[in-house]
Amino acid sequence: MQDVKFYVCPVCGNVTISTGNAEVTCCGRKLRPERVGQSRGIKAEVSGSEYIVSCGHPMTKDHYFSFFAAESDDGVQYVRLYPESKAEARFTRQGVKRIYVYCTVDGLYAKDL
């Protein structure tokens, strides 16, 4: 699988995940893949066959994490988050090599496991 790319529509917030080269449009705009920053703040705690992933961050209406994702060689797990919810997600550990988080203000960050 090629590198995972995330496209987030600035108008409606829709998220598209691609593992190849894609032309993604939403709300009449062509979207570019989100740039990925490195995050040291993402924690991935082992709990049986799962990772409990979290990150200290505001979860207010204007500034929150809208998703966590976990990349492995054969796929992507995705968890949508909402304002006022906990900045936390659970993923099956099998094969996961990278965790992503997307902030509605600061953009996309990743941590390699």
Residues found near Fe ion in the complex (CB under 5 A): 103, 105-106
Least distance from Fe ion to the Cβ atom of residue 65, Å: 7
Q: Is the distance from CB of 103 to CB of 55 less than 8 angstroms?
A: no
- Of 61 and 97, CB closest to Fe ion: 61
- Of 45 and 106, CB closest to Fe ion: 106
DSSP readout, 4-34? Answer: PEEEE-TTT--EEEESS---EEETTEEEPPP
Integer CA distances (angstroms), 110 to 3, 12, 55, 102, in order: 13, 23, 11, 9
What are the beta bridge partners of residue 107? 103
Least distance from Fe ion to the Cβ atom of residue 56, Å: 11
Least distance from Fe ion to the Cβ atom of residue 37, Å: 11
Closest CB to Fe ion belongs to which residue?
103
- Of 37 and 95, CB closest to Fe ion: 37
